[in-house]
Structure 1
Amino acid sequence: MKTTTLQYKLWMAATGLFLCFFLVIHLLGNLQLFLPAAEAKTQFNWYSHLLSGNIIIKIIAYVLYGSLIVHALVAIVLTLKKQKANGTKYAYDKRGASSAWYSRNMGVLGTILFIFLVIHFKDFWYQYKFVNLPLDEKGNKDLYTIVVWAFSNLWYVIVYEVALLALGFHLLHGFFSAARTLGLFHPKYVKLIKIIGWVYTLIITLGFMAMPLYVYLTNRL
């Protein structure tokens, strides 16, 4: 059976909203990095151990991996379908007058995020899962020290900040796009949807951006 563009968009919206939910949980867990160093190390490593040993969390993790893959693949399919539908590209158009620049450059933002995810998974997820990390005083893998070491490098912090800005614009476009696909962008609710979208995006983006900066600066003082 042939999959329609609307069906692809529904998959895009569903996986995107799940990823939005995951980002909230991820942000809340990582807030422990703002604790005093000794307490942050114990709490963050305990939290990491909890995530790796809980069956419910493992199931959610597999759903997360699946959502990331499906989200990326559907984005590629929709981009190709759009290019095919547009046909000949003209040297001059007025799309900028009716859509935000980040909406017209989701491919670029998505590419930045893909590279960021490869780096993020390699340096943290892979390290925790497949490398014999030293243990902390509580007997948990010391992922906290890996995080602190990574964010003690200015170039690494800059890479993260750029990627997180891309995430913010990606979230802003994705939130409104999902609302339209799901029929929530009704004139009666459009103002509320816009407020929720902006508030959510700012909290997630600024929250994650603050972490590398905090770790970097506290290790410089």
Structure 2
Amino acid sequence: MAQNGFGGSLQLFSGTGDAAWVAGEDGATEWLDDGYRFTGSDSSGGWNVNWDMLGASGVNNSITLNFTVTNLSSTTQTFFLFATQEIDALESTLAGGSIAGSFTDLNGDGVTVSSVAGDSIYTGFYDATAFDPFDGTVIATLLDDTTASAGSFLSGNYDAAAFGDFPVIPGQAAGNVDFNFGIALRFDVSAGDTAAFTSSMAVAVPGPGALALMGLAGMHRRRRRD
């Protein structure tokens, strides 16, 4: 099926090798009426990854990403993952996103997955031209300053978190988006273990109904202050 809109891309940075994958060029891409599905797997000497990325474009632009990484190295490793989708310029957008995660010990010594140096695991952003160092505009962060662990050969979960989810995603004012939006995931994984995250990000121009709701919400906030 012919592509409708823009495809997405993934970039991974780590201490044991970097990689980039582009929809339509790497893995497998299925072009849908309103977007695409981009799947694949890859490995280096220090990691193995799998991804399933669903993107939509048009009135509502969104990314939903399932990403799994196994740390094949002998020490805790930091991973930086960027999922990006190009779009036409949008004015006065609403944005929203979410994340949930799991982790599994594969070598019997327990598993720990954490944010890096008190930072956030999830960052929703737009208009990024460089990812290392990152120069995009941050809309929101999730799973801030967090650490989770499980014992020998056990698994654990990160509870789901979201932003811009009232009344529905996307529901948070985000301003003008010129050329792309996406998700940045930054986290540590203990040696020999696996982490998996399901994350999403959406941007859209609100219709008249949404604008009316935003206006009512603003009036309500002003009345409470009064």
TM surpasses 0.5: no
> Does 1 or 2 have the higher relative contact order (CA < 8 Å, sep 6+)?
1
> Normalized against structure 2, the TM-score is what?
0.23
Give the TM-score, by structure 1 length: 0.23
Greater share of strand residues, 1 or 2?
2
